[in-house]
């Protein structure tokens, strides 16, 4: 397992020159993980394809002042069809991977606007907006940072909680309590979501990790107080590809939760790789479970 971990870290670092998520194969034969995966249910055909004849939401780029970073930062915000300032909306904070920025989900293949539009049209989601920030909390937050930005990813919670969330709550018609906030992400962003979501349960009630990377803390660090998580966390949901070398990061948390009676979902996406096939599936399912 240590060899797999180090190899995955190396693979993560190689993507810096490509400014995209790395391809992380399974090292050796698929492992028989000693954990019970939750049932995989295939997403319906076309869930991530733009549909005609339905209302569409909008995505707008915002800029906010970050106190912790000391600079102006950017985020994309998805507003659902017929967004109404007279209503209150929940908020999903959706994080990118080590090779991305605030545009990765929206412009690099994640199509969150299309997925959410379709879910709204089918009546499968609660009213929410989706905020896609730059999780690299440093003044030069460009994609070129690669593994050199590892620390900045780890400190993003200061920017997220101290500056971005207050900005969103000031400028959009959203609820301001934990029960109406969720956090999820892919790869590095999946690890951030698990670390920050479980580390700040006073801020987030719903937590999702899609193909979470080696920045994911070990379960005993994430959950030092089992009873507190049982009481306060409303959803802990994960998915990872069966052919993804990073599966072990999610498995160790799932095993800990099962051993301690903590509700936790981990889906093994059949033969899934470290890519948007798995991550879009993650968003499609996670979005339907939150704020209900």
Residue 23 lies in a domain: no
Question: Is residue 29 included in any domain, yes or no?
Answer: no
Sequence-ordered strand ranges (E) for the chain: 58-66, 71-79, 90-95, 128-133, 181-186, 206-210, 235-241, 265-269
pTM (predicted TM-score): 0.92
Q: How confident is the model at residue 144, as a pLDDT? A: 81
Tell me, yes or no, whether 146 lies in a domain: yes
Find the helix packing angle between 276-289 and 112-121, rounded to 10°: 40
Q: Could you tell me if residue 263 is inside a domain?
A: yes
Residue carrying the six token digits 């072990």: 248
Q: 8, exposed or middle or buried, with CB in 10 Å at 0-12, 13-18, 19+? A: buried
Tell me if 22 is assigned to some domain. Answer: no
The domain that holds 110 is classified in CATH as: 3.40.50.1820
> For position 21, what pLDDT does the model report?
62
Q: Are 5 and 248 in contact (CB under 8 A)?
A: yes
Is residue 27 assigned to a domain? Answer: no
Residue with tokens 């801020």: 203
Collapsing DSSP to helix, strand or coil, 276 comes out as helix
CB-based contacts of 47, cutoff 8 Å, min separation 6: 115, 118, 280, 284
DSSP code at position 22: P
Whether 225 is in a domain gets the answer yes
What pLDDT, on the 0 to 100 scale, is given for residue 209? 98
Query: Is the separation of the CB atoms in 251 and 1 below 8 Å?
Result: no
**Ordered mean pLDDT values, 10 residues apiece, the chain (292 residues):** 42 42 47 87 98 97 97 98 97 96 96 98 98 95 74 95 98 98 98 98 98 96 98 98 94 97 98 97 98 96
CA angle 217, 221, 32 (to 5 degrees): 55
214 contacts: CB under 8 Å, gap ≥ 6: 5, 8, 9, 12, 191, 246, 249
Is residue 18 domain-resident? no
Range of the domain at 91: 2-13+37-289
Q: How many domains does the chain have?
A: 1
Two structure tokens written together for 135: 């999780």
């Amino acid at each position: 397992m240590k060899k797999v971990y180090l190899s995955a870290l190396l693979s993560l670092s190689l993507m810096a020159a490509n400014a995209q998520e790395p391809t992380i194969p399974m090292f050796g034969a698929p492992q028989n993980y000693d954990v019970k995966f939750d049932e995989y249910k295939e997403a319906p055909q076309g869930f991530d394809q733009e549909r005609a004849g339905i209302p569409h939401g909008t995505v707008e780029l915002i800029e906010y002042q970050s106190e912790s970073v000391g600079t102006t930062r950017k985020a994309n915000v998805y507003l659902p069809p017929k967004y109404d300032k007279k209503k209150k909306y929940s908020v999903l904070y959706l994080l990118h991977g080590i090779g991305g920025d605030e545009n990765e989900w929206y412009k690099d293949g994640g199509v969150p606007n299309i997925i959410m539009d379709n879910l709204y049209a089918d009546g499968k989601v609660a009213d929410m907006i989706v905020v896609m920030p730059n999780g690299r909390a440093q003044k030069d937050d460009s994609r070129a940072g690669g593994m050199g930005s590892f620390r900045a990813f780890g400190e993003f919670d200061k920017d997220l909680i101290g500056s971005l969330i207050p900005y969103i709550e000031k400028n959009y018609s959203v609820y301001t309590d934990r029960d109406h906030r969720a956090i999820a992400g892919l790869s590095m962003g999946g690890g951030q979501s698990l670390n920050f979501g479980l580390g700040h349960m006073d801020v987030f009630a719903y937590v999702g990790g899609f193909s979470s990377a080696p920045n994911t803390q070990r379960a005993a660090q994430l959950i030092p107080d089992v009873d507190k998580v049982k009481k306060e966390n409303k959803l802990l949901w994960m998915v990872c590809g069966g052919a993804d070398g990073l599966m072990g990061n999610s498995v160790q948390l799932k095993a800990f939760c099962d051993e301690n009676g903590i509700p936790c979902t981990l889906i093994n996406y059949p033969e899934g790789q470290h890519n948007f096939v798995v991550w879009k599936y993650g968003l499609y399912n996670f979005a339907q479970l939150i704020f209900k």
